[in-house]
Amino acid sequence: MVEKKAVKIKVEDLVLIFGKNKEKALELLRSGATKSEILRKTHCTVGVNRANFEIYESEFFVLMGLSGSGKSTLLRCLNRLIEPTAGNIYINGDDVTRKSHKALLDVRRTEMSMVFQKFGLLPHRTILENVAFGLELRGESKERREEKAQKTLDTVGLHGFEHQFPAQLSGGMQQRVGLARALTNAPEVLLMDEAFSALDPLIRTEMQDELIALQDKLRKTIVFVTHDLDEAIKLGDRIAIMKDGVIEQIGSAEEILTNPATAYVAEFVKQVDRKMIITAGTLMHKKPTVVRLGKDGPEGTLRKMRATGLDVLPVVDDQYVFKGFVWVTDVIACAKKGAETVQEIILTDVPTVATEVTVEQMLPLISATRSPIGVVDMDSKHLLGIVSQNAVVIEATRYDEQEIAHLQKLANNN
């Protein structure tokens, strides 16, 4: 039974309209008018157009799109830095859009923290004082807030810099301070608005890796805004792609790449290196014909091969644990000898992978063998499916004729 995920944030029919004639614009939007029609008739701009989605507890959820798509606007609606025009936002089932200003401030101080693109550090305060600032606003004692701030600085790798000032730190280190300040409040939800886009590419990659490591440890619910698809793919459990205030599609990187919901999404992801994303779980044949040890002898195995037209089949034991592959030439020789089992001809030195292993990671495996790849549960070793060499080659070389010729040559040599 699949465990149901707890919903942390729920957004219902969220609309954000900029301009003075919002009521008229909202009426037109609900009647089906386009963004450009509404702008022409009311001089109002639709920032977010009827967004509906859920974000799960401990999920890394990415909002992405080009400039003007509405991603940052939507993020700022979640903590009401921008007031929504219509719709509802629930945090832990509690409607944030209905809260008073005082109650909303309490949510921002205890349940949500935000990290901005521009670090927003106080230049006249030390790094420790900057990180402890939110706790100061909460009214915590100096001793207690500095103790918490120091622990967070240690977590983000800034031990020893607590008494320096922001101007003495590099851009990447200043962004770590911003992240530490957000984490010190122990928020349940972390909102990050283009947090790494102002950094140099190398530092940006380091910060992405740092955030992934922190998330593995802290398991926060993170909503991250970016215009960079590679960054979204690297960080996000799920990605929401936006255009003109509309959420075009929500899904994992693999779901979006393999099944784009709209022509815009298909074009958007066209240049992504698919072999970095597509996994064994997507490519595998999920219910392969198998040879069962103790039940299928050589003759039974040959019958299955004739029925399927395959010259190689996976072998499992009575617990469905994967044992390897048998090949038709070996099975025929075994049958001629009058053997009762295929045990002695099982090729056991074969590649096995988990469902999340990518095509790029499978490429070296197929270059060293002629065998398909067994996809197994890494704990039980139960067979989940098989991936053919052709499937890996085709997916890896979809746009690369030189690479496909090279891999075909390797496969033929083996």
- 10 Å CB burial of residue 307 (0-12, 13-18, 19+) is exposed
The contacts of residue 252 (CB under 8 Å, 6+ apart) are 236, 237, 238, 239
Tokens 């996000």 belong to 236
Distance (Å, rounded) from C-alpha 300 to C-alpha 303? Answer: 5
For 179-224, the pLDDT digits (tens) are 888 888 888 999 998 888 877 777 788 888 888 988 898 899 999 9
Give the predicted TM-score (pTM) of the model.
Answer: 0.74
For 103-128, the pLDDT digits (tens) are 998 888 888 888 877 667 888 999 99
Tokens 């109002």 belong to 44
Domains of the chain: 281-413 (3.10.580.10)
The residue among 181, 175, 176, 208 whose CA lies nearest residue 62 is 208
Phi, psi (deg, nearest 5) at residue 104: -65, -40
Distance (Å, rounded) from C-alpha 314 to C-alpha 196? Answer: 46
Highest-scoring range by mean pLDDT, 140-154, 301-315, 358-372: 301-315
What's residue 1's pLDDT? 41
**Residues 322 and 382: beta-carbon distance below 8 Å:** yes
Distance (Å, rounded) from C-alpha 407 to C-alpha 411? Answer: 6
**Residues 96 and 78: beta-carbon distance below 8 Å:** yes
What's residue 376's pLDDT? 94
3-state secondary structure 83-107: CCCEEEEEECCEEHHHCCHHHHHHH
Q: How close are the terminal C-alpha atoms of the chain, in Å? A: 41
For 326-351, the pLDDT digits (tens) are 999 999 999 999 898 999 999 999 99
405 pLDDT band, cuts 50/70/90, is low
